[in-house]
Amino acid sequence: MRTFLILTVDGVTSGFIYAMVALALVMIWRATRVINYAQGAMAMFTTYVALFAIQHRVTYWLAFVIALGAGFVFGAGVERLLVRPIEGRAPLNMVILTLGLLILLEAVAPMLFGGDVKSFPAPFSRIDITAGATQLYVSPFDIFVIAAALLVMLLLLVFFQRTTIGLRMRAAAFRPEIARLLGIRVGRMLTLGWGLAAVLGALAGVLIAPGIFLYPNNMDEALVFGFTGAILGGLDSPVGAVTGAIVVGLVLSYVGGYLGSDLETVGGLVMLIAVLMVRPQGLFAFHRQRQA
């Protein structure tokens, strides 16, 4: 029981981090029909920026904000400078482009910041809370991670569902040509979307680093598992992506805890294949009603 609780808390915590990556991937996929394979590497980079700031006597919270801001600029810049010029070409071009960016970032980061494994500070204790004599298996930092992820997801939900600019972004994502006829600058909406997605990624990067340390490809697994979660849920469904990613976090945690930590990725693979064989478009895929 004790093991189960520990594994569950671990799984949920990392699940929420994967969920942010998954959500970033889905946001971009819905708007641009691109999987941004560099999403993780971009987050790694902004985490290095935050660490750089911290090493130069910037407080943790300011560095935190700097990372998110850098993420926005980074994401928007990638859309403008790299993605925009090849919009509309064969999908494989976009795949190679973002993979190229992934490779480039993972090579440039050690050149700039050093290739060694670095520790990254956590703003709250990572030691489990005890209430009286009973251990709770959850640390203040775990709570912070989950709360931050939930808050950001809530903010995004409000942003997309309740604000005009969110509505414009959705229109631009679903029907770009119609959106233009309604006066919406679709290009700007895409840039904004990439920027916001990268903010999510940057948040994931800063939240995951205290646990797994910071090194040039420290986000590879988060990308793969976030992507796995997004696929499980169905790439067009934000709710599905979050759910899928949390399931991935839990399954990996249980597999790692009960069967051996080497088997985590294998567990992810088996689960993904099993789900895709039953539902090739993910669990939350919906057929557009009344339209082909």
Partner 1 sequence: MRNPLLRHATVCVALAVVLVLLTYVFDAFTDYKIAGVAIFFIAAAGLTVLTGVNGQLSLGHGALMAIGAYTTSLLLKEQPQLPMILPLLAAIVSTGVAGAVIGVAAARLRGPYLAGATLALAVGLPQVAVHYGSVFGGNQGLPVPVPTPPSALGGDFPNERWLAWIAIAAALITLFLLANLVSGATGARLRAVADDEAAASLAGINVARIQVLAFVVSAACAGLAGSLFAYWVGLTAPSGFGLSVSLQLLSAIVIGGLGSLSGAVLGSFLVVMAPFTISDLAGNLNLSSDVANNLPLALYGVVLIVTMLAFPRGIQGALFSLWRLAKRNLRRPQAPTVSTTA
Partner 2 sequence: MLEVDDLTVAYGGVVALNGVSLQVPEASITTVLGANGAGKTTLVRAISGLVAARGGSVRVDGTALTGMAPERIARLGVAHVPEGHGVISELSTEENLRLGCLWLGGANDRRAATEEAYELFPPLAARRRLPAANLSGGERQMLSIARALAARPRVLLLDEPSLGLAAVILAQIMQRLRELARSRNLAVLLIEQNARSALSVADEAVVLSLGSVVARDRAERLARDESLRHAYLGF
The least CB distance from residue 292 to partner 1, in Å, is 12
Q: Which residue among 171, 212, 263, 285 contacts partner 2 (CB under 8 A)?
A: 171
CB 7 within 8 A of CB 253: yes
Nearer to partner 2, 124 or 174 (CB): 174
Q: How far apart are CA 95 and CA 25, in angstroms?
A: 13
The least CB distance from residue 265 to partner 1, in Å, is 4
Q: Which residue among 104, 117, 178, 259 contacts partner 2 (CB under 8 A)?
A: 178
Q: How far apart are CA 125 and CA 144, in angstroms?
A: 10
Q: Is 227 in the site for partner 1 (CB under 8 A)?
A: yes
Q: Is 292 in the site for partner 2 (CB under 8 A)?
A: no
| Amino acid letter for position 142 | D
Phi, psi for residue 289 in degrees, rounded to 5: -70, 145
Q: What is the DSSP letter of 135?
A: E
Phi, psi for residue 84 in degrees, rounded to 5: -55, -45
- Reduced to 3 states (helix: H, G, I; strand: E, B; else coil), residue 193 is helix
Q: Which residue among 33, 89, 126, 175 contacts partner 2 (CB under 8 A)?
A: 175
Residues in binding contact with partner 1, number by CB under 8 A: 52
Nearer to partner 2, 57 or 290 (CB): 290
Q: Is 121 in the site for partner 1 (CB under 8 A)?
A: no
Q: What is the CA radius of gyration of the chain?
A: 19
Strand partners of residue 118: 214
Binding flags for partner 1, 271-290, as an x/- string (CB under 8 A): -xx--xx--xxx--------
Q: Is 212 in the site for partner 1 (CB under 8 A)?
A: no
Kindly identify the residues of this chain, within the stretch 68-97, that bind partner 1 according to CB under 8 A. Answer: 82, 85-86, 89-97
Length of the chain: 292
Tell me how far apart the 2 most distant CA atoms of the chain are, in Å.
65
Nearer to partner 2, 134 or 289 (CB): 289
Nearest to 142 by CA among 13, 250, 248: 13
Q: How far apart are CA 282 and CA 232, in angstroms?
A: 5
Q: Is 250 in the site for partner 1 (CB under 8 A)?
A: no
Q: Is 153 in the site for partner 1 (CB under 8 A)?
A: no
Q: Judged by CB under 8 A, which stretch of 112-120, 161-169, 266-274, 276-284 contacts partner 2? A: 161-169
Phi, psi for residue 118 in degrees, rounded to 5: -115, 150
Q: Is 104 in the site for partner 1 (CB under 8 A)?
A: yes
Q: How far apart are CA 216 and CA 113, in angstroms?
A: 9
Binding flags for partner 1, 22-51, as an x/- string (CB under 8 A): -------x-----x----------------
Chain centre to alpha carbon of residue 253: 18
Q: How far apart are CA 179 and CA 169, in angstroms?
A: 9
Contact footprint for partner 2 (CB under 8 A): 164, 167-168, 170-171, 174-175, 177-186, 288-291
Residues in contact with partner 1 by CB under 8 A are: 29, 35, 82, 85-86, 89-97, 99-108, 110-111, 114-115, 220-221, 224, 227-228, 230-231, 235, 260, 262-266, 268-270, 272-273, 276-277, 280-282
